[in-house]
DNA sequence: ACATAATCAATCAAAATCGTTCATAAACAA
DNA sequence: TTGTTTATGAACGATTTTGATTGATTATGT
């Protein structure tokens, strides 16, 4: 039996029965347990199924929703705290830019019923925004699967057609001297542009980003208001000399 | 056994069984393993099949993906046939526009390894294109959940930044007098614009669309080459007086 | 909580398959 | 004839897939 045939067999059975057991597959395909196990891990990598102890089940959802359910998000509770505080700053009827990122993503549920127009370059946000009935424009552009974000000149071009009341940016680094930074220069360019098109700019971060410096600089601390879940008092004083800081409390 | 005979034999068997194994072919044709292997690589270059370890499978959408494919698509086999014929027209290095739609979606598997740049306004295509490692630009714009397509002025604006070697459009209606039509005027506008930005335009349809008229007109028959799975002879003659028609055969 | 059984990930060696090279033989052209 | 092209099969080392083994991990029954 060819490798592909086995894979097809497994998926067909999975679709029909909802679950498959390794031992059954060993009997039915007369391949060794090792081979079946390898097949399953391979198919799991292709997101065609999900491994469980002793077999496999149908995968959770489609690609878009999967990244939503991503439990690997670090500091989730802190991010939600920040996201809620940020969402409270949005007024009914505002035009809003939401950066691609996990923190901005958490804002979406808090934005419903505000009659907004939202523009984003993050694919993951699109689905959820639509789910909450929020009118959404996607910038488009070159798609980067790794971050599920759109970047590049087309994205820049598309952005320039808009003016925002308010924009929210996620960052990876937050440093008194080096300002706000992020790993990808292309995404940095987008963030900076969005900020310049907005009347107000807010940067979202959790405390783990303090004193971190990523590769590409976005802007100086002075040019945006920081929203963060918590910050040591002495740091806070120092930062407040440079910019506004809003600490999100439960 | 002659080379051509072997090739025909292999393809016939492949058609019937979905997969062929090299060892089987060696036994059945009493040719050496080397010869069979040469046959398979040759047929792969002709895109008639796809090599896998130990044998070959049908090209494009392989067994695995077939079992996962959304079966709710009407006339799937016809669409795949059309899609394959369409994909053969794409040359290495081309810049391609793919319309949002189920038929264009079926083209994706046949486009890999062609080093393309693809632009689309269909969200469903994005995932699959990336899966096959194809550089993809999404137009962006206002998202219509119903068709998973982006439309509106921003989409138009974004499109105008491109020029395409070749563009493929799906249609809902196909009529001698009324030309190509589709239910949504906004999508019609996108299709028309894309066509005007392309050196060559192909319209994809299956035979169920013949004589149908949808709400919004896209263009006259003259302005694009039609690719269809089959068409009654007398119709075909009539159409051929107006435009080029390519009938996809197995 | 404990013991037992099932499953797991990792490793290794054997087997199958791969791509390549080379030599032979048939088909073809000058 | 002679030389050239084309198809073929055999042989080689390289690569991929496979199955068995091991000790660790997880589930299950008492």
Nearest CB among A7, A46, A140 relative to B138 is that of A140
* Largest pairwise CA distance in chain B: 63
Long-range contacts of B56-59 (CB under 8 A, 24+ apart): B56/B10, B56/B14, B56/B19, B56/B20, B57/A2, B57/A4, B57/B14, B57/B18, B57/B19, B58/B14, B58/B15, B58/B18, B58/B19, B59/B84, B59/B110
Interface test with B, best of A7, A8, A49 (most B CBs within 10 A): A8
Check if B97 contacts A (Cβ < 8 Å): no
- pLDDT tens-digit series, residues B71-92: 456 777 788 888 888 988 998 8
Hey, which residues does A21 pair with through a beta bridge?
A: A55
Cross-strand partners of B50: B57
Burial class (CB in 10 A: 0-12, 13-18, 19+), B121: buried
CATH of B68-247, one of 2.30.29.30, 2.30.33.40, 3.40.50.1360, 3.40.50.150: 3.40.50.1360
Domain-wise residue ranges, chain A: 3-60, 69-247
List the CATH code of the domain at A3-60: 1.10.10.10
Chain B interface includes A154 (CB < 8 A) = yes
Helix (H) or strand (E) holding B245: strand B245-247
A187-196 confidence digits (pLDDT tens): 999 999 999 9
The CATH number of the structural domain formed by A69-247 is 3.40.50.1360
| Residue A244 sits at the chain B interface (C-beta within 8 Å) | no
H-only helix segments in chain B = 3-17, 22-29, 33-45, 63-68, 76-87, 102-107, 123-131, 153-159, 185-196, 233-242
Three-state SS at A99: coil
Q: A140–B155: do the CB atoms touch at under 8 Å?
A: yes
The pair of structure tokens assigned to A238 is 């120092």
Q: Identify the DSSP state of B208.
A: G
Check if the interface score ipTM surpasses 0.95.
no
- Per-residue pLDDT tens for A166-212? 999 999 889 988 899 988 888 999 999 999 999 999 999 988 888 88
Residue pLDDT, tens place only, A67-118: 444 444 567 778 888 999 999 999 999 999 999 988 899 899 899 888 899 9
Which CATH fold would you assign to the domain B3-57?
A: Arc Repressor Mutant, subunit A (1.10.10)
């Amino acid at each position: 039996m060819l490798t592909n045939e086995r894979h097809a067999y497994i998926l067909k059975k999975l679709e029909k029965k909802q679950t498959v057991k390794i031992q059954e597959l060993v009997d039915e395909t007369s391949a060794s347990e090792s081979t079946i196990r390898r097949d399953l891990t391979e198919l799991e990598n292709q997101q065609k199924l999900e491994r469980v102890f002793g077999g496999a089940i149908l995968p959770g959802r489609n690609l878009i929703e999967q990244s939503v359910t991503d439990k690997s998000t670090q500091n989730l509770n802190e991010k939600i705290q920040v996201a809620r505080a940020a969402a409270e700053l949005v007024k009914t009827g505002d035009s809003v830019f939401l950066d691609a990122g996990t923190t901005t993503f958490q804002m979406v549920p808090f934005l419903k019923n505000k009659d907004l127009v939202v523009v984003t370059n993050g694919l993951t946000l699109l689905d959820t925004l639509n789910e909450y009935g929020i009118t959404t424009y996607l910038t488009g552009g070159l798609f980067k699967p790794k971050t599920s974000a759109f970047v590049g000149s087309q994205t820049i071009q598309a952005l320039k057609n808009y003016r925002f009341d308010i924009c929210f940016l996620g960052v990876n680094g937050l440093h008194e001297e080096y300002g706000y930074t992020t790993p990808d220069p292309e995404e940095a360019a987008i963030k900076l542009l969005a900020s310049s098109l907005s009347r107000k700019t807010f940067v979202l971060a959790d405390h783990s980003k303090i004193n971190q410096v990523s590769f590409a600089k976005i802007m100086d601390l002075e040019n945006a208001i920081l929203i963060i879940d918590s910050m040591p008092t002495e740091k806070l004083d120092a930062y407040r000399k440079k910019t506004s800081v809003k600490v999100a409390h439960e």
